[in-house]
Amino acid sequence: MISMIQFSDVLAWIHQLLSSCMAPWLVFIIELVVASVAAVVALLVCVIIMVYMERKVAGHMQLRHGPNRVGWHGVCQLFADIIKLLLKECFTPTRADKLLFVVAPVLSLCVSLLALAPISWGPGLVLWNTNIGVLFVTAISSMGVIGILMAGWSSNNKYALMGAMRSGAQIVSYELSAGLSIVAIVALAGTLNTGGIIESQANGWWILKGHLPAFFAFIIYIIASTAECNRAPFDLAEAESELTAGYHTEYSGMQFGIFYLNEYINMGVVSMVASTLFLGGWQPFYLPFDFAWAHTFNDIMALKFMETWPAWISWVSLAWPLVWFFGKLFLIIFFMMWFRWTFPRLRIDQLLKLEWKYLLPLSIVNLVIIALLVVLGLHF
């Protein structure tokens, strides 16, 4: 795709256009605002699709239709729900800690949006191109529990507090194996920069290039990140049947809506990280083999045949990495929904046993094997 239009060209063109008519500091601020709004809007559109998808997946897996009243096959159901949530009163209990109660949803939303900063959406399309991208995401995503703990504590409700405490125990333990499986890929790629990790997969995704250990790391990461998102089968923080709604029992209206949104944003971020690390981010599917047919396949995947086409068609190829990025995003999100609507919820002791007795030892052994692979140069 070298001769074709790149995202960096488009961004440079926009930068030039703004610089020609404004002061540099104003250009900087405008670019900052436009870029972050674009990222958040892209994510919110994803969330809208995810909520509809979740309800349909849930319905069909439970032998139901799912929403099918508002609009064609219920596509407008979410908008009706949002209008309902906006019209409802945001009720604060009398005995609640009022400041923390109001701050908690906003804080958890901010934290999960912060994790978007170093995500690479396409070639050259990254908000904050930093050399500690993956470290930043893991650090920020473990802060999400603060919002949940605040909500549980300030509600002054037993259910809410128990849900929040469980969530704390759960996120602290599952951070470990998620982190170790991320470290495995970082060891393979040799960089913490998200763009760099994706570019290191230009000849095949790590899940294929890293042999079986990378595949195990992927499975462990998916399990651990499902737990970090507080999603079933690890939804002990909410646990509808035991704790009514867990940490957001006392929330209503749009404050509840923000927690709901937050869950889906977290899912989105986790899936983006998983696709960046294991499935090559915006890279198309490449085969890591050195045969003639594999090269032909890789050339087709890289849209090499489009180079001879007229320039205006090659604009279409701009969307190609985005198609792969969002395709992988929704594939992993589908996996998480599939887990949620298949598995029953774990008990708190089973949850901690799974992490400390199974996932953590396995991921440590896995990391050692991957380190050996890297040292001996056995990966592709």
Partner 1 sequence: MKALYNYLKEVAFAFVSLANGLLLTLKYFVTPWKSIITENYPDNRNNPSVADEFAGEVILIHDENNEHKCTACTLCQLACPNNSIQIISKQVETEDGKKKKVLDKWVYHLEMCTFCKQCIDACPQDAIKMTNSYELSCFDRSTLTKILNQPGSKLKEKPKVTAKVQE
Least separation, in Å, of the C-beta of 156 and partner 1?
39
CB of 232 to partner 1, least distance (A): 13
Within residues 185-244, the interface with partner 1 by CB under 8 A covers none
Contact 263, 376 (CB under 8 A): no
Q: Give whichever of 23 and 63 is closer to partner 1, judged by the CB atom.
A: 63
Stretch that binds partner 1, among 82-90, 321-329, 338-346, 370-378 (CB under 8 A): 338-346
Whole-angstrom distance, CA of residue 324 vs CA of residue 355: 32
Q: ∠ at Cα 287 (282, 291), nearest 5°?
A: 145
Residue with smaller CB distance to partner 1, 341 or 380: 341
3: region left, alpha or beta (phi > 0 left; psi from -120 to 50 alpha): alpha
Pure H helices in the chain: 7-19, 24-61, 77-87, 98-114, 133-141, 144-154, 158-189, 194-199, 206-209, 211-228, 240-243, 253-277, 292-301, 311-314, 319-340, 348-353, 360-376
Binding partner 1 by CB under 8 A: which of 338, 347, 364, 372? 338
Closer residue to partner 1 in complex, CB, 35/352 = 352
| Interface with partner 1, residue 65, by CB under 8 A | yes
Could you tell me how many residues of this chain bind partner 1 (CB under 8 A)? Answer: 15
Question: Pick from 5, 14, 61, 127: which binds partner 1 (CB under 8 A)?
Answer: 61
Q: Which residue, 57 or 162, has its beta carbon nearer to partner 1?
A: 57
Task: Give least dist CB 59 to partner 1, A.
Answer: 8
Shortest reach from residue 60's CB to partner 1, in Å: 5
Segment contacting partner 1 by CB under 8 A, of 59-67, 110-118, 121-129, 372-380? 59-67
Using CB under 8 A as the binding rule, whether residue 292 contacts partner 1 is answered as no
Q: Nearest CA to 184 among 224, 132, 220, 229?
A: 220
Instruction: Provide the token pair at 314.
Output: 């090659």
Which residue type sits at 218?
F
Q: What angle do CA 69, 74, 79 make, to 5 degrees?
A: 105
Work out which of 21, 23, 63, 292 binds partner 1, going by CB under 8 A: 63
C-alpha closest to that of 157 among 250, 255, 259, 251: 250
Question: Which among 2, 36, 30 has a CA at the least distance from the CA of 14?
Answer: 30
* Residue 286 DSSP SS3: coil
Q: Is 98 near partner 1 (CB under 8 A)?
A: no
Within 341-370, the residues that bind partner 1 by CB under 8 A are 341-343, 358, 362
Paired with 126 in beta bridges are 120
62 vs 308, beta carbon nearer partner 1: 62
Site membership for partner 1, residue 75 (CB under 8 A):
no
Per rule CB under 8 A, is residue 297 in the interface with partner 1? no
- Segment 19 to 58, residues that bind partner 1, using CB under 8 A: 57
Cβ 40 to partner 1, closest distance in Å?
Answer: 30
List 19, 36, 68, 314, residue binding partner 1 (CB under 8 A): 68
**Is the alpha carbon torsion for 109, 110, 114, 119 positive or negative?**
positive
Question: Is omega for the bond preceding 118 within 30 degrees of 0, making it cis?
Answer: no
Residues that bind partner 1 (CB under 8 A): 57, 60-65, 68, 338-339, 341-343, 358, 362
